[in-house]
Structure 1
Amino acid sequence: MNSKTVKQLTPGPAGALECALDRPDGEPRGVAVICHPHPQQGGTMDNKVVQTLARAFLQLGYRTVRFNFRGVAASEGAWDEGQGEIDDALAVIAAHRDPALPLALAGFSFGGYVASQAAARLPDDAKVERLVLVGPSTQKQKVAPVPEETLVIHGESDDIVPLSATLDWARPQSLPVVVIPGVGHFFHGQLALLKNLVVRSWHR
């Protein structure tokens, strides 16, 4: 993401997982783990939306951890239909979280599904401070119910995950969804707005 990004391998359930770590200036206020889009559709930790989320968390003072799911780039293993990928996220969380600091968890598209499921599986004494789901894959995957303070952002013109699918998922939870008018799945031309929405939501 920048010249200070540190790459390292973290042990995972199907082999080593490639991670990219960024530290804020000064002492971190928390740790943020960010999950990338669908591995079989070109998703990696270097996706622009994923990097935008990492920049938002860095600005907020979090130490950020992006990682490649099993079978992507330098991560070992093979695609596991979305189940093993949740285990990957839990392994990265376990390896990189600091018990003394809050944990934030974020995901884009398929990564939003993984983040929701990983958050739901954390023990009660180790829950996330907050979830951020961007264009979560609510149509093809079973996105878990999420805490009421979860930030969900979706493009009005998303042609990969219809906005209606995310509203159908959010409605039974009475969960607000931030809709960006005229924006598609990959937030082309609106990444700065996406970053600002995350930062502003934390300040509120």
Structure 2
Amino acid sequence: MTDVLVPGGRDVRASLDRADDTTTDACVVACPPHPQHRGHRGDERLRAVSDVVTAGGVDCLRFDYGDWDEGYGERADARNAVAWARERYDRVGLFGFSFGGCVALLVASESEVDAVSALAPTARLASDLDAVAAMDAIDCPAQVVYGTRDDTADWRPVVERARELGFDVREFSADHFFVGQAGKVGDAAGEWLLDAL
């Protein structure tokens, strides 16, 4: 693991998990859950996905958002992390959990990424930060993974639109946090990202 300072004018720090194969041309950028609810780059779901992709030969950049900015700065942080990865890798994927899932979908709609996977994404961060509307502009392989017992995030509109658009949709009998299922979720998203990249 290598510490990274993501450029872009905000204090965004990241951990780069290196693939088992030390020469890779692909990286997954992992967006954490809500920073005001203790979301951070060490989240077990982000780590589970990182474990799968690094074992499969792809690096993973897990980052922490800068100071809270109502979703706007956090989206910029993710865009800057993607730009950092794009300068160093031929192929870049995005993964996000919860708030980070929404961020990942938003950024995938406006940045050059090769795949995006959103775990338990909420539908919007603000009225003009709407993942459901943004999904129409995503032109790379996309996946949405959700828990059928999730009563935390507003995931239903995202899943409905994902199905309409032909995204890969996976469901788990789980709550929002996928308690006891981080490994299974890591496999579902991580293996899909490896195939897509």
TM-score strictly above 0.5: yes
Structure 1 residue 54: deviation in Å? Answer: 1.4
Q: Structure 1 residue 21 and structure 2 residue 6: aligned? A: no
1:106-138 residue CA offsets vs partner (Å, 9 max, x unmatched): 11111111111112222xxxx211111100112
RMSD: 2.1
For the pair shown, the structure with the greater C-alpha radius of gyration is 1
The Cα of 1:189 is off from its aligned counterpart by: 0.9
Structure 1 residue 11 displacement after superposition: 2.2
How far residue 176 of structure 1 moved from its aligned partner, in angstroms, is 4.2
Could you tell me which residue of structure 2 aligns to residue 76 of structure 1?
Answer: none
* Structure 2 unmatched runs, 5+: none
Q: After TM superposition, give the deviation of residue 191 of structure 1 in Å.
A: 1.3
Deviates further, 102-111 or 158-167: 158-167
Preserved CA contact (<8 Å) 1:12 1:91? yes
More helix by share: 2
Name the CA distance, whole Å, in 2 between partners of 1:86 and 1:168. Answer: 23
Partner Cα distance (1:100, 1:196) in 2:
23
Note the residue ranges of structure 1 that are not aligned, 5 or more in a row: 72-78
TM-score by length of 1: 0.82
2:114 aligns with 129
Q: Percent identity?
A: 28
Write the distance in 2 (CA, Å) between the matches of 1:95 and 1:197.
26
Secondary structure of 2:24's counterpart equals coil
User: Does residue 1:40 correspond to 2:40, yes or no?
Assistant: no
Task: Flag the 1:65–1:200 CA change in 2: closer, same or farther, 3 A.
Answer: closer
Moved over 3 A (4+): none
Aligned residues: 187
1:117 aligns with 2:102: no
